[in-house]
Chains A and B, each alone.
Chain A
Amino acid sequence: MDNQKLAAHESLDLHEVINFKTLCVGKSKLMQGLVFDDDLRNLMKKDVEQSIQALGQLQEVYKRAPFEAPVPENRPTPTVNLKGVHMH
């Protein structure tokens, strides 16, 4: 049962949850640099640690999606055109 492929709707829900959790980690991490209250900052730290663990578990399950594919080292195609940017 553990290695069985996921159903289509489960996989798409996982896609949504994983992207949501990814954004949560990023936000809680970067907000730590903006926050004033130390207790709030510690809570955000805790959230980042817990979310990283949760995200790892979700990614593991997501590997069983029917549309799973080998993940490249970096983004397949650069999407931001940096040519024409002048370096000073």
Chain B
Amino acid sequence: MNYALHEVLEVHEMAVFKTTCLTKSKTMKALVTDERLQGIMQQDIDVSSRQLQEYASILSNAKQQ
């Protein structure tokens, strides 16, 4: 399956955005005292890491084209 150019560019932008989100969530989690908020942030970190890997695999597929 070949990706269209605009799709790859879109995924690229989302991956860049997700990376900064993940970095922020990780740093902020250490500074937060409320436990529930910390829990949500940890959940965000887990989900974001998985999503980033999915983006990365799409992008490496696209590079091989």
Chain A contact residues, CB within 8 Å of chain B: 8-9, 12
Contacts and interface: CB of A to CB of B under 8 A. Distances in A.
B47 interface: no
Contacts of B5: 8, 12
Nearest to A12: B6
Question: Is chain A's binding surface mostly helix, strand, loop or mixed?
Answer: helix
B9 interface: yes
Interface of B: 5-6, 9
Nearest to B8: A8
B65 to A, nearest CB: 13
A9 B8 CA distance: 10
B17 to A, nearest CB: 15
B15 to A, nearest CB: 14
Contacts of B9: 8-9, 12
A6 to B, nearest CB: 13
Contacts of A9: 9
Q: Which 6 A-B pairs have the closest CB atoms?
A: A12-B6, A9-B9, A8-B5, A8-B9, A12-B5, A12-B9
A5 B9 CA distance: 18
Contacts of A8: 5, 9
Nearest to B12: A9
6 contacts: A8-B5, A8-B9, A9-B9, A12-B5, A12-B6, A12-B9
